[in-house]
Amino acid sequence: MSRFRFTAGPWNVHEGADAFGPEVRASIPLEEKVAKFAELGLSGVQFHDDDAVPGLNEMTEGEIRAEAGKIRALLDRYNLAAEFVAPRLWMDPHTVDGGFTSNSAEDREFALWRAYRSIDIARVLGCNKIVLWLAREGTLCAESKNPVENVRRLIDAVNAMLRYDDRIEVLIEPKPNEPIDRSFCPTTGHVMAISAATVDPARVGCVLESAHAILAGLDPANEMAFALAFSKLGSVHLNDQNGMKFDQDKSFGAENLRQAFNQVKVLCENNYGSRGEFVGLDVKVMRTQRAEACYQHIANSIRVVEMLEKKVERFDYDYQAKCVAARDYEALEGYVLRLLLGDV
């Protein structure tokens, strides 16, 4: 049994298309995914605005709220919470060149409209967290945008959201690249700086995704620690990643168990979750997986978190203190490896 409450998004059980091949599994209706999430022991679901309300561009604000109400009823039926709503600003024809930092004023307006609608949907779903994964807020061609002006535009967009609703919290999910080449907000440190520049820094925090930190060449546990030091770790997306390539969203711990251990350790040591924070699993099922077993990656990831929590409980802090006093970090490192391999 874990100390954490887990969530996942509908996109984590997908049809298997990648950049070089088509879908290999049939789409699963949202209700079926939600039922399965409950069965797997998740406590909540993460949503993009159009996961909750498909086709919202063509709807009035009233219609959007009514549709969101149906999702709220669905979640209630399975006793699940909504963790957050994230405007999906990377799929739409209006956001080809980015959302809040598009070179088109009309498209920047559209991005804000979607952000406001995401807030409306979140309120109906009973959650106050809005996540901004700033997918296309950057450049493919470095000279196509003014980077200073656009960092300011990001701050303005967050301010507009904070002013629209004084109870919402905005969590920025940084990522250095993919789908764009250069992001305007690539790491936790950038998120902290943007937060500090807004009209209400207490309501602007970070979602740290393990794979995104690795893609930036950084350590996910230390990135979490950085946000925790500012009391601004609003959510995590645990997963794993084999080196610096495209974003893989592998099952948590599948590539680097020690790195996974240190993520769980920093969360446990800092009582993550005690303010209602969830542990999100942004893991994607492999393309090779057959449809009948396409939730296995979520179950595996939960299991790994639970096993690593047990390792954290067994971690010998007295022995660590002795090693630190003697400055014998080789001994400490040897102990950590034996702990992870089940030899102590």
Which positions lie near Mg ion, rule CB under 5 A?
209, 237, 282
203/237 with CB nearer Mg ion:
237
Catalytic entry in 51, 107, 120, 240: 51
11 is a site residue for ligand 3MF (CB under 6 A): yes
209/240 with CB nearer Mg ion:
209
Contact call for residues 7 and 83 (beta carbons, < 8 A): yes
51 is catalytic: yes
Q: Within 162-181, which residues bind ligand 3MF (CB under 6 A)?
A: 173, 175
237 is a site residue for ligand 3MF (CB under 6 A): yes
Minimum CB separation from Mg ion for residue 170, in Å? 15
11/164 with CB nearer Mg ion:
11
107/173 with CB nearer ligand 3MF:
173
282 is catalytic: no
Q: Within 12-71, which residues bind ligand 3MF (CB under 6 A)?
A: none
Tell me the C-alpha to C-alpha distance, in Å, between residue 22 and each of 15, 16, 285, 337: 9, 7, 15, 41
Q: Write out the E strands in the chain.
A: 6-8, 44-48, 81-86, 129-133, 138-139, 169-173, 182-183, 204-209, 233-238, 279-281
DSSP 21: B
Q: Residue 284, SS3?
A: coil
**What's the token pair of residue 42?**
């998740």
Q: Please measure the distance between the N-terminal and C-terminal CA atoms of the chain and give it in whole angstroms.
A: 22
Determine the size of the site formed for ligand 3MF (CB under 6 A). 10
CA distance 114 to 111: 5
DSSP state letters, 191-208: HHHHHHTSS-GGGEEEEE
Minimum CB separation from Mg ion for residue 96, in Å? 21
Decide: residue 270, CB within 10 A, 0-12 exposed, 13-18 middle, 19+ buried: middle
237/297 with CB nearer Mg ion:
237
DSSP state letters, 220-250: HHHHHHHHHHTT-EEEEEE-B--SSSS---B
285 is a site residue for ligand 3MF (CB under 6 A): no
Choosing from 50, 137, 209, 240, the residue that interacts with ligand 3MF (CB under 6 A) is 209
190 is a site residue for ligand 3MF (CB under 6 A): no
CA distance 129 to 121: 11
Minimum CB separation from ligand 3MF for residue 45, in Å? 12
Q: Which does residue 86 bind out of Mg ion, ligand 3MF, none, counting CB within 5 to 8 angstroms by kind?
A: ligand 3MF
Minimum CB separation from ligand 3MF for residue 237, in Å? 5
Which residues sit at the interface with ligand 3MF, rule CB under 6 A? 11, 86, 131, 133, 173, 175, 209, 237, 247, 282
User: Annotated catalytic sites, by residue?
Assistant: 48, 51
